[in-house]
Amino acid sequence: MVKTKVGIVGVTGYAGAELLRILITHPYVKIGAISSVSFEDSLISDVYPAFYGFCDKVCKNQDKVIEKSDVIFAALPAGLSQELAYKCNQEDKIFIDLGADFRLSNEEDYKEWYGGEYENKNLHRQSAYGLPELFRSEIRGKKIIGNPGCYPTSIALALAPAMKARYIKSSGIIIDSKSGTTGAGRGTTQTTHFPECNENFAAYKIAAHRHTPEIEQTLSIAYGSSVKVTFVPHLLPVNRGILSTCYAPLAAGIGEHEVRSLYERVYGNEYFVRLLPEGSVANIKNVKYSNFCDISIHTDERTGTLIICSAIDNMVKGAAGQAVQNMNILLGLPETTGLEFVPPSF
């Protein structure tokens, strides 16, 4: 069997390392090359000793990754993927960006929230937003994929079905999300420094987080007109996981039974979305190290409010796992290939 050669640019960041962890055991791919600016010419197993014996490749430069690979993943900060996408496009190779450069359809939003511009507008027109459960048909056949952000993934899967069915109103939506510290990346900041985040719990970037336009973009597509939300993220003193609690006013005549029936229809055949039984509550522990999104549905009948809890592993479904899910679609493989991880029970 001929395996597809895959490469990772930015392999020594948390998302890049998680990609490598998943891909080295994927049955239909092999690692072509990896790169890291910070650790160029170093063994990946020296940077992350857990890979010793599984992958002892040397981190090369980006051009070597393109040369040696058929599918290129980029786990880079915003603003660094567009030139790489152009090079991959010239070589007719698949490019999957885990950064923000291909997530937003509106360039003005990208300028406002990320301070950059679209260097090649044609590339953006050729790209697809890679949230398979909502945009599978748009993903198929594409060569450039903008992998969704972690918060937007948990929120879109939680709210999109209710938005599309108009079971909730488009105004007054409040989203309260909590993330583990790996979401901030490998570089230490004052906020993520152990003495600051340990035994602590705090909101940050209140109503000003960069993922806001991405969240609103997906929900607006689902609703069919512009949607604005109040989004407040929080930092949890844990390594992994996102729990998003979404509050939305219910439409007239809609209750928990109608919402649950809708979600059963929408997600009934989606392997990676687990609609939890009535009375259960989504919990980050139960999705750790997996590509699952657990959703629990609740209502406050006194106020007519729908409350949906959504839990993902921010490094897997929120980043690397979803990127591999997108690759599987593009290669014509079952989406679950290489991703059937059972979450640990403790």
CA dihedral 201, 205, 207, 213 (to 10 degrees): -120
Residues in CB range of 187: below 8 A, 6 or more apart: none
3-state secondary structure of 115: coil
CA gap 56, 229 in Å, rounded: 45
Strand order in the sheet with 144-146: 59-60, 29-35, 4-9, 71-74, 94-97, 144-146, 127-129
DSSP 8-state secondary structure symbol assigned to residue 313:
-
Query: What amino acid positions are annotated as catalytic residues?
Result: 150
Place of tokens 């929230």: 113
Strand positions, DSSP E, 89-228:
94-97, 127-129, 144-146, 173-179, 202-203
Tokens describing residue 319? 């980043």
